[in-house]
Amino acid sequence: MHDPRELTEEGSEAVRRLARRRFAFDQEAFTAAYRRRAASQTEVTRLRTEANEAARARKKAGGPPTEQEKETARDLRAATQRAEAAARSAEQEFEALALGIPNFPLDGVPDGASEKEAVEVRRGGPPITPTGFEPRHHADIGEDLGVLDSKAAARLSGARFSLSRGPGARLERALTDFFLDLHTREHGYTEYAVPYLVNRETMTGTGQLPKFEEDLFATTVGDRELFLIPTAEVPLTNMVAGQTLDARDLPYAFTARTPCFRAEAGAYGRDTRGVLRLHQFEKVELVRVCAPEDAQAQLELMVGQVEECLRRLELSYRVVLLPAGDLGFSARMTYDIEVWLPGGDAFREISSVSDCGTFQARRAGIRHRTADGRKGPAATLNGSALPVGRTVAALLEQGLQADGSVVLPAALVPYTGFRRLLPGGGTAED
């Protein structure tokens, strides 16, 4: 959410900046709604003040009220109730508009509307080299190794679910433990175990609602409406919702391993095989909360931490800067880290690391107090580090050998107990 003054000021940059995101901002309609809200709140305040003054005058006068005074009091109560109803309506109208406006892209973000306009920043990991044999899709590799069973998943839940078994399930558990150990022991994050079901207010605080309601899984039990989290960013960021943080304690660094649930309503027909686009997957998430002036430095730090995961897993990857038109709703700047998938002869996103500036903090009421006592919204950042399924896909495709086995990175051996996956479900230590 933005400071409304940025959106209503004539000649402001709001229209231009939002146009870079391909968002047509109707400044006139927004300003009118903003003024209606302000006017309705002013009217409520005026009527309540008038009622309070009349009550004080009646008390001072003493004795029973006259019929005229009673009638005036009734009329004033009725007028106040009408004004309060109008104010609620104006507030709802304004909030519906305000909550639907995405974050401003930073001026350093390139122009463009899709991932095709992303700017490559650098590459990392081992160089991409020909394998000497035909690369294969991770779904086929996983089936031959006996670690992925797409048919069983489909029988249980339908399309876009995955089932791992034996060494495959062990590998997934190993990855989450490896990621959490790295981030907590070396990168300074505090690990949390968070709820997987959250309320509407929590989803609204980080920007998932109301914009992306069709992409969420929801449940209602009695009069309770709850949503399955699409990422641990939601509960982690909202842990400090409604709080004023001491700037001397910042930055906060949170991490959690959770399942993530996404309806993917707009993605039907894409990535229908394998584990790249599922309704349920596991992920380790990073969240940082800092002073606004530190956000850009924190973003670069987080990107480096994600890259460290990939370097230790010996995976080839690249970092790209997303264009303005491809940014997530709450982000003002995003780096995508894309891993090389030989089976598709392409780089594919494995992590997005985003600087949200004060956008989420304004929605969730996250403030910070500086040393001189000034208060203002904090800045929030988030990133995947890393999703389990896409990491498994990259390990299978990049680690494939001519004999059909898959060699895993040395960093995982303490967590898996094996170095090689063998066709048919076996493992080997070498």
Is residue 165 within 8 Å of 284, Cβ to Cβ? no
**Sign of torsion over alpha carbons 106, 109, 111, 112:** negative
Nearest to 193 by CA among 245, 140, 239: 239
Backbone angles phi, psi at 193, to 5 degrees: -110, 115
Nearest to 406 by CA among 390, 377, 427: 427
Residues in contact with 342: Cβ distance below 8 Å, sequence separation at least 6, in sequence order: 128, 131, 135, 397, 398, 400
**What does the DSSP assignment read for 240-269?**
TTT-EEEGGGPPEEEEEEEEEE---TT-TT
Q: Please state, in angstroms and rounded to a whole number, the distance separating the CA atoms of residues 141 and 347.
A: 18
Catalytic amino acids? 262, 277, 349, 352, 390
CB count within 10 Å of CB 187 equals 18
Residue that the structure tokens 């300003």 belong to: 31
Could you report how far apart the first and last alpha carbons of the chain are, in Å? 53
Q: What's at 88, amino acid-wise? A: R
Residues in contact with 199: Cβ distance below 8 Å, sequence separation at least 6, in sequence order: 224, 225, 226, 227
Nearest to 240 by CA among 287, 295, 184: 287
Nearest to 130 by CA among 419, 347, 402: 402
Buried (b) or exposed (e) across 231-262, using 16+ Cβ within 10 A? bbbbbbbbbbbeeebebeebbbbbbbbbebbb
β partners of residue 255 = 191, 286
Residue that the structure tokens 């901002």 belong to: 25
Residue that the structure tokens 């009408």 belong to: 82
Whole-number CA gyration radius for the chain: 27
